[in-house]
Amino acid sequence: MISKIKLVQRWTINVGNGKLGFMYKIVPVLLFISLTSIFNIVQAKRILPFPSGEVNAEQIAEQVYAVAHGNLVKNAASKKNKKDIAMVVNRAPSAKRKPGRRPIVNTFETFGNSNPLNPNIDSMQMAIIKSGKAKGTGILYISYTDKSRSGQLTIWLPSLRKTRRMNEPAHEDTWVGTNLTYGELVLRKPEHEVHEKMDDAVFEGCLLAMKLNPWEVNRYTKKLPGPQCEHQGKPVYVLKSTTKFKDWWYDYHISEVDKETFALYRTVYYKDGKKLKTVVIDWQSLDQSDPRVSYPRYIYALTHTSGIDSMIFVPRSTISLNENLRDSFWSEKTLKKYGKR
C-alpha cells in the first residue's frame, strides 16, 4: 500500500517503511521535447517565424522558448540504441564527495508529441526510466491549450502495478533529483519574467561539464562528454530576465543566446547580487532547413553555493526523428507496456 504521495524537493513515493525516489521530467523533454526537432509530414501547429529587423528582449525570449520546448516540430523520440542511452547523473555537494560515493545515474527513454490532433491538447510527453530502483516507471505529461488549466501527470508504478494521476508540479520542484527545476525545464514561460536586452557579445570560454573523480567513473559516467568549446566566438544576444514571482529562489538570470539559432548556451542565476547557479546547454544541429531545429546534447547545472551538480546527456544515436506514431501511443497502455520490459 502507498502510505502517501508528496511533492517536495523531488517526488517521493513512500512504500511502507521504504522510499522509492523518482522524479521525472518530460516537457523539454520538454527539455527533451526539444529532442522532437524535425518537421514531419504535418508541421507543428505553431511555427514561430524568424523575427525581422532589430529584435527586442521579448522576441528573443519567445524564440528561446520555442526552440527549447519543441514548438518548431511535430514529434521525436530518444530511445536506447545498442549501448547508447540517454542518462541523468546527479552528485552530492562537493564537501560530501569521497571515495566509494558514486554519482546517482538514471537512464531513460522519451517520446514527445508537439502536434496532437485534439485541439484541446497542446502537447503530450512521455518518459520511461530504464535503470535503477525506479526502472520501468513511466510518466505521461499532457499540457492543454487552455492556459488556465494545469497539465496532468500520469505515473505508472511497475512494482505496484498501479497508476497515479496528479496535477503538474510546482515551478520550484526539482527534476529527477537534479538541481534543475521544473520551472527551468518546462513550466516557466516568457511572460513569467521581465526581459531586458543588454549589449550583444560573442560567446567566450567553453561550456562547463561534469568533472569526475576516478572513483565516480562507471560504465555510464565514462560516456559523459567533456567541456564543449566549439561555440566560442559565436555572436550572442545577452538577455537579463527578472522573475515576477515574489520571494523567489532567484532574482534574475543572465542568458547568452545564439543570434542565428536562438539556442540558449549559458544561463547564470543571481540572488541578492551573488552568483547562485550556472546552467549550460550544448545545442547541436539536426541538419534541417530551419537552423533553429536542434537538440540538447547535454545539459550541465552547477550550484555554486554547495557544489551540487547534475548532467543530462542525450547521445545523438538515440534520437529517432519523424516517427509515424498515432496520438494513442501517448497513453497509460503504453506506459504499462514499457514498464513490463
Closest C-alpha among 272, 273, 277 to residue 308: 277
Provide the percentage of residues in the chain whose pLDDT is more than 90.
54
Structure confidence by residue, pLDDT tens digits, 103-143 = 999 999 999 888 889 999 988 889 999 988 888 999 898 98
Residue 123 in contact with residue 31, Cβ under 8 Å?
Answer: no
Structural domain boundaries enclosing 221: 2-339
Alpha carbons 290 and 248: distance in angstroms, whole number: 36
pLDDT in tens, 3-36: 333 333 333 333 333 333 433 333 333 333 333 3
Give the closest residue to 290 by CA, choosing from 43, 21, 31, 29: 43
**How would residue 242 be classed by pLDDT, with cut points 50, 70 and 90?**
very high
CATH number, domain with residue 179: 2.50.20.10
pLDDT of residue 35: 34
Predicted pLDDT at 175: 65
Domain tally for the chain? 1
- Report the DSSP beta bridge partners of residue 113: 75, 124
Residues 71 and 98: their CA atoms lie apart, in Å, by: 42
